[in-house]
Amino acid sequence: MTRRLRVAGVDEAGRGPLAGPVVVAAVILHPKRPIDGLDDSKKLTEKRREALYPQIVEHALAWRVEFVDVDEIDRINIFQATMVGMARAVQALAPAAERVLIDGNRLPRGLPCPARAIVGGDAIEQSIMAASILAKVARDRAMVELHAQFPDYGFDRHKGYSAPTHLAALLAHGPCVHHRRSFSPVSRLLPDAQGDAVVEPATADLFAGPLPA
């Protein structure tokens, strides 16, 4: 009997936010331990994602969640940070993957086996669905923890995305250490050489609306 290849699904969460890490997960599902209810994490409620997370961890043949922090994102850019995170997640799997399926249209360098990029793969491949759930839940939990340290920004609600309340908090308080300096409008609020925050006219438009008291 021919043995099935160990296929790892890979997906990320948090490429777009203004703050926090980008999180990548890789999952090799066990062929004899099916998990009911897998789907693209964006289509699932938070409660359902949280319920599936421990099932994936318990039943998967192998899994890995990789965090790429803000400093690295700012140093090499968000695309490269995501690619690096994907490679690290796959490389850390034990047992090792023999084939990799990645959600998206680009493949990272340094993968230890053949790979294929699939646009919309998180709606097609169950291993990618599982990875998308692990990445999303892990990142959401991390942003809730950041909220406890920096409550002024509302990270527990918007998870670092550019919601109006987040933009207003950025204007009121300035960026914290977990904001991505390479992202606009964060970069426009960094101090200039004299130590004053620079708010350009275009930035002011982005922050239009009532500010918190």
- What's the one-letter identity of residue 93? L
Q: What is the pTM of this model?
A: 0.88
pLDDT attached to residue 1: 57
Which residues are CB-neighbours of 106 under 8 A, at least 6 positions away?
83, 117
- What's the one-letter identity of residue 79? F
Q: How far apart are CA 26 and CA 154, in angstroms?
A: 29
Cβ atoms within 10 Å of 209's Cβ, excluding its own: 10
Q: How far apart are CA 151 and CA 154, in angstroms?
A: 6
Q: How far apart are CA 181 and CA 71, in angstroms?
A: 9
Total residues belonging to the chain: 213
pLDDT attached to residue 182: 96
Which one-letter DSSP state was computed for residue 104?
Answer: S
Angle at 92 between CA 122 and CA 7, to 5 degrees: 45
- pLDDT < 50 positions in the chain: 193-213
pLDDT attached to residue 205: 33
pLDDT attached to residue 3: 74
Cβ–Cβ under 8 Å, residues 30 and 82: no
Tokens of 119: 């646009």
pLDDT attached to residue 192: 58
